[in-house]
Amino acid sequence: MLELSEPALDDVFRALSNPSRRAMLARLSDGPASLSDLARPLDMTLAAVEQHFKVLERCDLVRSNKVGRIRTCRLEPDTVRATEQWLGVLCADWERQLDRLGAFLDGTPTDQDGNQ
Amino acid sequence: MLELSEPALDDVFRALSNPSRRAMLARLSDGPASLSDLARPLDMTLAAVEQHFKVLERCDLVRSNKVGRIRTCRLEPDTVRATEQWLGVLCADWERQLDRLGAFLDGTPTDQDGNQ
DNA sequence: AGAATAGTTAAGCGATTACTTGATAATCGC
DNA sequence: GCGATTATCAAGTAATCGCTTAACTATTCT
Q: Give the pLDDT band of residue A104 (cuts 50, 70, 90).
A: confident
> Is a pLDDT exceeding 50 seen at residue A113?
no
pTM for the structure as a whole: 0.89
Number of H helices, E strands in chain B: 5, 3
> Tens of pLDDT along chain B (116 residues)?
899 999 999 999 999 999 999 999 999 999 999 999 999 999 999 999 999 999 999 999 999 999 999 999 999 999 999 999 999 999 999 988 887 777 777 775 555 443 33
* Beta bridge pairs of residue A62: A75
B71 contacts B64 by C-beta, under 8 angstroms: yes
Interface membership of A80 toward B (CB under 8 Å): yes
| Statement: the CB of B96 is under 7 Å from strand D | no
Between A24 and B106, the more confident residue is A24
Rounded Cα–Cα distance for residues B116 and A89 (Å): 24
Rounded Cα–Cα distance for residues B4 and B27 (Å): 24
| Statement: the CB of B54 is under 7 Å from strand D | no
Nucleotide nearest to A46 (CA to C1'): D7
- Could you say which residues from 35 to 74 on chain A have a Cβ atom under 8 Å away from some Cβ of chain B? none
